[in-house]
Each structure stands twice: as C-alpha cells, then as structure tokens.
A = this chain, B = another copy of it.
Amino acid sequence: MNQNEDDTCQIKYVNHELVTALLKSQHDNKIVSGLAEIFGVLADPTRLKICMFLSESELCVCDLAGMLNISESAVSHQLRLLRSLRIVKYRREGKMAFYTLDDNHITSLIKQGLDHAKEKGE
C-alpha cells in the first residue's frame, strides 16, 4: 500500500532527522535562484570570455566581436544581458561604447573556477 503521493519511494525519509535539519538550514529560495543565475551567466563560453576579457581591460563592442569572432549583434545581445544583471557597465565615447566589469565578484569567481578547471584534465 502507498502512504505517499508517489508510487516510487515508500519510505518518507531514510534519515528523517538529518533531512529535516538540512531542509531547515537550507538557504532562501531567492538566494539559490540568484546564485544559479550568476553561475548561468558564466556557463556560456561566449559570455565567460567576454567577462574574462573585460576583467583585464575596458573594451568596445567592435573589438569584442573581433576577438570572439562572432557578430557585433551577438556581442550586443550578450552585453545587454550582462548589463541587466549589473555585471557590466559601459561608457559612451562618440559612436563607440566601452564596456567594463561592474562586479568584481565575477572576477574572483572566475579566478577560483580557473584553478579548478586547470587541475582537472577532463
């Protein structure tokens, strides 16, 4: 017979005390979502490279497009996303827009991630 909603696992929790403790000490869902969003920004190679380049120097859309070998449109789309998340900011100079990182956290996250990526062959 089935006491639970599912027909898969019969036991409510294998270690009830542990599980409830973990659930209680769990972070707020908004924080977890925000964290996932930050990681999501860095999960795309194009955006990651943009952030890595911008962490080194201020750059215009044109140069980023050339460096990444994709269209300016694609770069602009990604920059808009990064802008909306306050990860980059920009400065207008005539026709051109020069972008920089607006969030130093990103740089340190990338640095820490790099250490791990390097030591893993994968």
Binding site for B on A (CB under 8 A): 6, 8-9, 11-15, 18-19, 22-23, 25-27, 31-40, 42-45, 48-49, 52-53, 56-57, 59-60, 62-63, 65-67, 71-72, 85-86, 96, 103, 105, 108-110, 112-118, 120, 122
Interface of A (DSSP majority class): helix
**Distance to closest chain B CB from A116 (angstroms):** 4
B66 touches A13 (CB 8 A): yes
A45 touches B32 (CB 8 A): yes
**Distance to closest chain B CB from A16 (angstroms):** 9
| A48 (CB) vs chain B CBs: closest residue | B36
B62 touches A14 (CB 8 A): yes
